[in-house]
Amino acid sequence: MANIKKTTHVIESKDVYTILEKEGADNFMDELIDRLTQALHSYNADQTVIPKRSGFHYTFPFTGLVEWMPLHARGEEITVKMVGYHPGNPEMFDVPTILSSVYRFDTKTGHLKAVMDGVLSTALRTGAISAVATKMMAHPSSETLGMIGCGAQAITQIHAISRVIKIKKVLFFDTDADAQNSLVSRLAPLGLDAEFLPKSLKEIVAESDIICTATSIDIGQGPLWKDLPYRPYVHINAVGSDFPGKVEVPLSLLRQSVVIPDFREQAVIEGECQQLTAAEIGPELSAISRQKDQFDFIQNATSVFDSTGWALEDHIVMDLILNKAEKYDLGSQLEVEYFPTDNKNPYEFLMNNDINKSKPNLKKVI
């Protein structure tokens, strides 16, 4: 009989950042970008089944959601990310807006193979997928990156994009002055060789070759701007839209752009694609990655990557983190699920105990 591992590899947040420390943040990000590029290129919806995420959305006790993002790599494994989005978190509890954890199941037995932090991995993969999209869609001469929203996601957006494009200037804006003022110091350890310039939103839209929007703008309050001039080849990574009614990019700009969603079915519900008719939405990022020649023209057009967050990204970043955890022997093996020696006996642990403070009554047993 085949032996299977019965423990769950629990990778705490400290294990994830130890991996980044040991690998080097740049090396880790480069490998993640490479793996995501490969995964998009070889993606086959028959082989990797990704239902759209669902979950609970609520306004009490605070506005927020908890959702599950499942993926089934047929014949192999299942990855499920659980993700909470609570825009009041920083102000009310001094904790990140996005809290998350990721789970890996074996499809041979249903066993929970691994649990890991999803907070850092979400920031990493959201940066990395923007880098992949930017590399495919931005004009090759791009050198000015505009960052609208200077929160947690801004850090990995700037990091990842700087790994695939030679960024000379980073223009940045946040309605929260603290966030804007602290951005540069938060990026300092990366040693990015670029000029950092705080700017108004209008200046960023006008002067950037690449724009990332990663804001917590309220539902119904978007877009972030209207009718501002922008560069004709601008590429926008619209990262912040992840909630029905929440949008960042003006409809007029979307209509003049090639709009590429990560996951169309989801983008029409909670991404920038909410604003568009079906005919106005371009193919998914994985499709343009598979037919690169056909879509090279996007680099010479105004383009928007509608990044709502896709389970494939979480699956790939989990693969990478699991590989590295093994390499560095990080995390702990816990016996989360109960595997009695006799699988027909959930009370096996009682066998050697006199648990009910009375002798086992076997006298009437035949």
Residue whose token pair is 């494994």 = 77
In whole angstroms, the minimum distance from the beta carbon of 3 to a copy of itself comes to 8
CB 301 within 8 A of CB 257: yes
H helices of 5-49, in order, are: 13-23, 25-42
Output the furthest CA–CA distance in the chain (Å, rounded): 89
Q: Which is nearer to a copy of itself, 215 or 302 (CB)?
A: 215
In whole angstroms, the minimum distance from the beta carbon of 307 to a copy of itself comes to 16
- Is residue 226 within the footprint of a copy of itself (CB under 8 A)? no
β-strands 48-49, 332-334: how paired?
unpaired
- Is residue 90 within the footprint of a copy of itself (CB under 8 A)? yes
Q: What is the spatial distance between Cα 129 and Cα 137, in angstroms, rounded to a whole number? A: 12
Distances in whole angstroms, Cα of residue 274 to Cα of each of 22, 137, 245: 41, 21, 8
- Is residue 10 within the footprint of a copy of itself (CB under 8 A)? yes
Strand partners, 212: 147, 237
- Is residue 65 within the footprint of a copy of itself (CB under 8 A)? yes
- Is residue 167 within the footprint of a copy of itself (CB under 8 A)? no
- Is residue 195 within the footprint of a copy of itself (CB under 8 A)? yes
Identified binder of a copy of itself from the candidate list 30, 31, 68, 256, rule CB under 8 A: 68
**Which one of 66-74, 232-240, 257-265, 290-298 is the stretch in contact with a copy of itself (CB under 8 A)?**
66-74
Show contacts with a copy of itself in window 231-270 (CB under 8 A).
none
Q: What is the spatial distance between Cα 23 and Cα 38, in angstroms, rounded to a whole number? A: 20
Q: Rg of the chain over CA atoms, in angstroms? A: 23
- Is residue 354 within the footprint of a copy of itself (CB under 8 A)? yes
Q: Token pair of 10, please?
A: 């629990």
**Which one of 61-69, 199-207, 271-279, 320-328 is the stretch in contact with a copy of itself (CB under 8 A)?**
61-69
CB 233 within 8 A of CB 143: no
Q: Which is nearer to a copy of itself, 227 or 354 (CB)?
A: 354
Residues 122-161: x where in contact with a copy of itself by CB under 8 A, - otherwise, as a string: -xx-------------------------xxx-xxx--x--
CB 247 within 8 A of CB 241: yes
In whole angstroms, the minimum distance from the beta carbon of 336 to a copy of itself comes to 6
**Which one of 252-260, 284-292, 301-309, 338-346 is the stretch in contact with a copy of itself (CB under 8 A)?**
338-346
Identified binder of a copy of itself from the candidate list 14, 41, 166, 292, rule CB under 8 A: 14
- Is residue 350 within the footprint of a copy of itself (CB under 8 A)? yes
- Is residue 309 within the footprint of a copy of itself (CB under 8 A)? no
Closest by Cα among 73, 56, 74 to 65: 56
CB 348 within 8 A of CB 340: yes
In whole angstroms, the minimum distance from the beta carbon of 137 to a copy of itself comes to 24
Query: Phi and psi at residue 291, in whole multiples of 5°?
Result: -125, 60
- Is residue 44 within the footprint of a copy of itself (CB under 8 A)? no
Distances in whole angstroms, Cα of residue 126 to Cα of each of 45, 93, 120, 159: 21, 23, 10, 11
What b/e readout covers 200-210, taking b as 16+ CB neighbours within 10 angstroms? Answer: ebeebbbbbbb
**Which one of 231-239, 283-291, 300-308, 353-361 is the stretch in contact with a copy of itself (CB under 8 A)?**
353-361
Show contacts with a copy of itself in window 170-189 (CB under 8 A).
179, 182, 184, 186-189
Strand partners, 109: none
Q: With CB under 8 A, what is the number of residues at the site for a copy of itself?
A: 123
- Is residue 25 within the footprint of a copy of itself (CB under 8 A)? yes
Q: Which is nearer to a copy of itself, 97 or 299 (CB)?
A: 97
Strand partners, 104: 79, 114
